[in-house]
Amino acid sequence: MSEAIDANQQKATVTAHQINISVAQQLANLVKSTLGPYGMDKEMVDAAGKVVMTNDGATILKETNLKHPTATIITEIARTQEENCYDGTTSSVVINGELMKKASLLLDKNIHPTRIAKGFNLANNKAQELLEEIAIEADESILLQVAKTAMTGKSVESDDSVLAQICVEVTNSTTMDNISIVRRPNGKISDSLAIAGILVDREKVHHNMPSSIDGAKIALIDVDITLPEFANTIQVQVQDNEAVKQFIESRKGQLQEIAESITSSGANVVFCMRDIDGFVSEYFAKKGIYAARRVAKSDLEAVSKATGARIVSSIDELSESDLGKSELLEEVMVGDKPIIKLTGNKTSDAVSVLLRAPTQHVVDEVARAFEDAIGVVSVAIEDKKVLAGGGAPYLYLSKELKEYANSVGGREQMAVSAFAEALEIIPSALAENSGLDPLDTLIALRQLHTSGSIGIFGVDVEEGGGKDMREAGVLEPLRVVSQALQSASNVASQLLRIDNIIEMVRGPEIGEDGFNY
Ligand code: ADP
Ligand code: MG
């Protein structure tokens, strides 16, 4: 009897590991082909036919309908990576899949899963130390290369120097939450620029309004500057001319009151999140006031932060203390459309980037790549440490950990060696995705990483073989690699410690069967 239970437990244990290994590998395979500068995009279609094109590991996992609990745990890796490092999501999931694959070979040799997990932890701790040792100090020229590397493979390459320059400039000058990005199609990527101040993608509502205001006093209003709906649609008997006249007059009177309550605050610029009545626009224009309508909430918030203006929802309560201040408001032409520029703001933290590209689709893609690059560069600035890319650190770690394994006793030694081997998956996938032979590339790279190597040789995706990634300018923050390893390894250990996947079936509601649960 007890033997039968043992056998059953054994079976359940094997099954849980097999499932976890299989799910981890499936997810790794799903994203692996997107890795690196020549990674392929995935076209994802949901049930409603919405298409998402992406080459980003985190996005792929987010958009894929993953219901398995193990898949949820692994998707967490990508989310943590994205949140902390803005990059390296694909790498972390791919490493996790490879660690699970190696673990499965050790399980086949009857090595206990907790031993494997322990070995993986030892290897990861050693790897973290080794990475610190080969880290490179990040100076200004290195930051430019970090920005370029972050944007590689994202269809902005031909103009990556302009964008990298802007990226480093703005990230150096302020914090990430003070950077706003405006996208404008019908231009060249190289026409993109950054300004110290705020750009608002709107224009004046009335052609007679001034195109620039010195000493702007800005009112931010997030409600309609019109009369309530019923007053616009009220039915008037057309036979009664006097009533019509009276109605129009009283309407004008009410609108005039609204307009005056705004101007009496001393505002000479009005940004409204909703609509502005034609009569009010006319009135503003006559008074030399600049006004824009349908200004995005995010823009109102950015202007509020930079100029000190308070966003007001009740027009009659607007007063001078609610107004924000900018030295200059200008409406400037960008391509064939104007844009509003606010400079000399109350606080100098706000920075805006105007991204240009030929079409809306391209400018959206450029914006995604640029936003990621800002995150990556800010990580490099914060930590001041980077590593060579192209799989170089993984090859270095692989070599060093194989040696370290010899100093580890017991079954854990095999797990450390397996961990070391698993890391070669990154250079191998980079080679494969670039149309190179992965095995030949690994052999060439292992030779370059013999004694004395300082972890700088990575995959030469153009010519094949290996090359010095510092010379090639392929650099990424230390944190991207160390976090990718850390979470891949932690989750692998976590999955190995699970010996049963139990489906929790919801029982009856509390009290339904007379019991309290
Ligand atoms: P992830 O989601 O892991 O960041 P990416 O598709 O962005 O995946 O690929 C990142 C990998 O590509 C990193 O290992 C990086 O070093 C490598 N890489 C980027 N540019 C180059 C390059 N020019 N040559 C070789 N490897 C590169
Ligand atoms: Mg990346």
Choose between 402 and 368: higher pLDDT.
Answer: 402
Q: Which ligand is nearest to the CA of 153?
A: 1
Q: How confident is the model at residue 506 (pLDDT cuts 50, 70, 90)?
A: low
pLDDT of residue 1: 43
Q: How confident is the model at residue 67 (pLDDT cuts 50, 70, 90)?
A: confident
| Whether residue 393 has its Cβ less than 6 Å from ligand 1 | no
Q: How far is the CA of 134 from the centre of ligand 1 (A)?
A: 18
Q: How confident is the model at residue 336 (pLDDT cuts 50, 70, 90)?
A: confident
Average pLDDT, rounded, for the chain = 89
**Which has the minimum average pLDDT: 149-163, 181-195, 306-320?**
149-163
The tokens describing 315, both together, are 């027009």
Half-sphere exposure of 455 (CA within 13 A, CB side): 25
The residue-averaged pLDDT of 162-187 equals 94
| Whether residue 493 has its Cβ less than 6 Å from ligand 1 | no
pLDDT of residue 378: 97
Q: Tell whether the model's pLDDT for residue 508 goes beyond 80.
A: no
Q: Give the angle subtended at the CA of 363 by the CAs of 374 and 378, to the nearest 5°.
A: 0
**Which has the minimum average pLDDT: 267-271, 408-412, 473-477?**
408-412
The tokens describing 434, both together, are 């670039």
Q: Tell whether the model's pLDDT for residue 65 goes beyond 80.
A: no
Q: Which ligand is nearest to the CA of 458?
A: 1
pLDDT of residue 513: 45
Q: How far is the CA of 452 from the centre of ligand 1 (A)?
A: 24
pLDDT of residue 53: 67
| Span 146-162, pLDDT tens digits | 999 998 876 666 677 89
Instruction: Give the rounded percent of residues in the chain with a pLDDT score beyond 90.
Output: 72
| Whether residue 197 has its Cβ less than 6 Å from ligand 1 | no
- What single letter denotes the amino acid at residue 357? A
Q: How far is the CA of 460 from the centre of ligand 1 (A)?
A: 11
Taking CA atoms only, the protein residue closest to ligand 1 atom 1 is 88
Taking CA atoms only, the protein residue closest to ligand 1 atom 12 is 36
pLDDT of residue 515: 42
pLDDT of residue 430: 97
Q: Report the distance separating Cα 468 and Cα 452, nearest Å.
A: 14
Q: Tell whether the model's pLDDT for residue 73 goes beyond 70.
A: yes
Whether residue 399 contacts residue 220, with contact meaning beta carbons closer than 8 Å, is answered with: no
Residue 211, helix vs strand vs coil: coil
| Whether residue 389 has its Cβ less than 6 Å from ligand 1 | yes
| Whether residue 375 has its Cβ less than 6 Å from ligand 1 | no
Q: Tell whether the model's pLDDT for residue 8 goes beyond 90.
A: no
The residue-averaged pLDDT of 220-233 equals 79
Give the atom of ligand 1 at the shortest distance from the alpha carbon of 484: 3
Choose between 458 and 243: higher pLDDT.
Answer: 458
pLDDT of residue 504: 61
Q: Give the angle subtended at the CA of 213 by the CAs of 211 and 216, to the nearest 5°.
A: 140
Site of tokens 């890319």: 389
- What single letter denotes the amino acid at residue 182? V
Mutate to test the pocket of ligand 1, among 152, 157, 371, 432 (most ligand atoms within 8 A of CB): 152
| Whether residue 61 has its Cβ less than 6 Å from ligand 1 | no
C-alpha of 112 from chain center: 39
The residue-averaged pLDDT of 499-516 equals 55
pLDDT of residue 233: 54
Q: How confident is the model at residue 140 (pLDDT cuts 50, 70, 90)?
A: confident
Q: What is the pTM of this model?
A: 0.85
Handedness of CA 410, 412, 417, 420 (dihedral sign): negative
With CA atoms as reference, report the closest residue to 27 among 488, 503, 499, 490.
Answer: 488
Q: How far is the CA of 88 from the centre of ligand 2 (A)?
A: 5
Q: How confident is the model at residue 376 (pLDDT cuts 50, 70, 90)?
A: very high
| Span 318-330, pLDDT tens digits | 999 999 999 999 9
Q: Report the distance separating Cα 95 and Cα 103, nearest Å.
A: 12
Q: How confident is the model at residue 230 (pLDDT cuts 50, 70, 90)?
A: low
Q: How far is the CA of 34 from the centre of ligand 1 (A)?
A: 10
| Whether residue 475 has its Cβ less than 6 Å from ligand 1 | no
Q: Name the helix (H) or strand (E) containing 54.
A: strand 51-54
Q: Tell whether the model's pLDDT for residue 221 goes beyond 60.
A: yes
Pairing, β 290-292 against β 269-272:
parallel
Residues across the chain? 517
Q: Tell whether the model's pLDDT for residue 7 goes beyond 60.
A: no
Specify the DSSP class assigned to residue 25.
H
Residue 235, helix vs strand vs coil: coil
With CA atoms as reference, report the closest residue to 499 among 66, 118, 107.
Answer: 107
The residue-averaged pLDDT of 470-492 equals 97
**Catalytic residue annotation:** 56, 89-90, 372
Q: Which ligand is nearest to the CA of 41?
A: 1
Q: Tell whether the model's pLDDT for residue 121 goes beyond 70.
A: yes
| Span 381-391, pLDDT tens digits | 999 999 999 99
pLDDT of residue 466: 96
pLDDT of residue 69: 85
Choose between 209 and 57: higher pLDDT.
Answer: 209
> Who surrounds ion ligand 2 at CB < 5 A?
87
Give the atom of ligand 1 at the shortest distance from the alpha carbon of 388: 16
Q: Which ligand is nearest to the CA of 476?
A: 1
Q: Tell whether the model's pLDDT for residue 512 goes beyond 50.
A: no
Taking CA atoms only, the protein residue closest to ligand 1 atom 25 is 390
pLDDT of residue 453: 79
Q: How confident is the model at residue 487 (pLDDT cuts 50, 70, 90)?
A: very high
pLDDT of residue 235: 60
| Whether residue 96 has its Cβ less than 6 Å from ligand 1 | no
| Whether residue 461 has its Cβ less than 6 Å from ligand 1 | yes
Q: How confident is the model at residue 68 (pLDDT cuts 50, 70, 90)?
A: confident
**Which has the minimum average pLDDT: 1-10, 333-342, 384-393, 400-409?**
1-10
The residue-averaged pLDDT of 142-149 equals 95
| Whether residue 391 has its Cβ less than 6 Å from ligand 1 | yes
Taking CA atoms only, the protein residue closest to ligand 1 atom 26 is 390
The residue-averaged pLDDT of 278-285 equals 96
Whether residue 349 contacts residue 360, with contact meaning beta carbons closer than 8 Å, is answered with: no
